[in-house]
Structures are given as structure tokens and as C-alpha cells.
């Protein structure tokens, strides 16, 4: 098993400044938190972050895993209702950060990168503060 990254360097656990540069917290869920990515090439893209550091999906008990996946599905449903994407892609990428999180990436026909693999941060589409607030309100209304 790979060595875990330390908790004291975790952007989620330590709320490092880079977290605020990349995301906006939307809400606390049952066993996780949900964040809106500031980069919005995929309108509504979020990240669901598990409450504890240093665990991988396969290390969770059935109860913990089911609770986390329930949070993930809840956010996916909220995004589907709020933005009506063609498809929602889910991805858990944590090569260098030992904090379980799931990317929820709505994809739109004729939209950015449809049919392709997501870019972690394409740095193409940013919103105004008002647009972020509207996007967050749409997601929260459907959580």
C-alpha cells in the first residue's frame, strides 16, 4: 500500500489557502463536505470530500462507504436537477493527496470536452461572485 500524505499538508484538513483559490464550500453533508470548483468549464462541477483524512474507498467499512456514496449520489442528483447535464462523470483521483474525495463533473453535449477525459483544472472558465452565488444557490436548493 502506498504511503499516505500527511494530514498537516492536506488542503482539506488544514484549510490551506489553495483550497479557497480552487473551490467554494457549499455545505456539510452526512459524512462529507461539498465544494464548488471555481473553474466552471463544466457548469456545476463539484467535489465531495470525505470527513476523515488518510482513508481510501476500499478501506471504509460497508457502512462508511455507503454513507459516503449516498452523499456523492445526493450531490449528483442536485447537479442533475439544477443544470440538466447530458451525463455526470464521477472520479476519485488522489495520487498525491490522501484524502478521499469524488469529483462530480457534469458533461453537456456540444459542451467543453464532451466525450473526453476531464482536465483537473483547465483554467478557462471563471464566474463573477454573483454567478458563483447563483450556482451555489441552485445546487443547495436541490440537495
Q: What would the pLDDT profile of 101-141 be if each residue is shown by its tens digit?
A: 999 999 999 999 999 998 889 999 999 999 999 999 999 99
Average pLDDT over residues 30-42: 97
> Is 42:106 a contact under the CB 8 Å cutoff?
yes
Q: Give CA separation, 141 vs 7, 134, 137, in Å.
A: 32, 10, 6
Domain annotation for the chain: domains and CATH numbers: 7-142 (3.30.428.10)
Which one is predicted more confidently, 95 or 59? 59
Over residues 39-61, mean pLDDT: 93
What confidence score (pLDDT) does residue 2 get?
A: 59
Q: Is 85 helix (H, G, I), strand (E, B) or coil?
A: coil
β-pair partners for 48: 34, 102
C-alpha cell at 74: 445526493
Which band of pLDDT confidence, cut at 50, 70 and 90, is reported for residue 60?
very high
Amino acid at each position: 500500500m502506498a504511503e499516505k500524505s500527511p494530514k498537516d499538508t492536506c488542503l482539506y484538513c488544514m484549510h490551506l489557502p489553495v483550497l479557497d483559490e480552487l473551490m467554494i464550500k457549499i455545505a456539510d453533508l452526512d459524512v462529507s463536505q461539498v465544494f464548488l470548483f471555481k473553474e466552471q468549464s463544466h457548469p456545476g462541477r463539484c467535489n465531495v470530500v470525505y470527513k476523515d483524512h488518510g482513508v481510501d474507498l476500499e478501506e471504509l467499512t460497508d457502512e462508511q462507504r455507503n454513507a459516503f456514496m449516498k452523499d456523492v449520489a445526493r450531490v449528483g442528483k442536485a447537479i442533475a436537477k439544477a443544470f440538466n447535464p447530458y451525463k455526470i462523470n464521477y472520479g476519485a483521483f488522489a495520487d498525491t493527496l490522501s484524502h478521499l474525495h469524488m469529483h462530480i463533473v457534469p458533461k453537456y453535449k456540444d459542451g467543453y470536452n464532451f466525450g473526453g477525459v476531464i482536465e483537473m483544472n483547465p483554467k478557462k472558465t471563471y464566474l463573477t461572485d454573483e454567478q458563483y452565488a447563483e450556482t451555489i444557490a441552485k445546487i443547495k436548493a436541490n440537495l
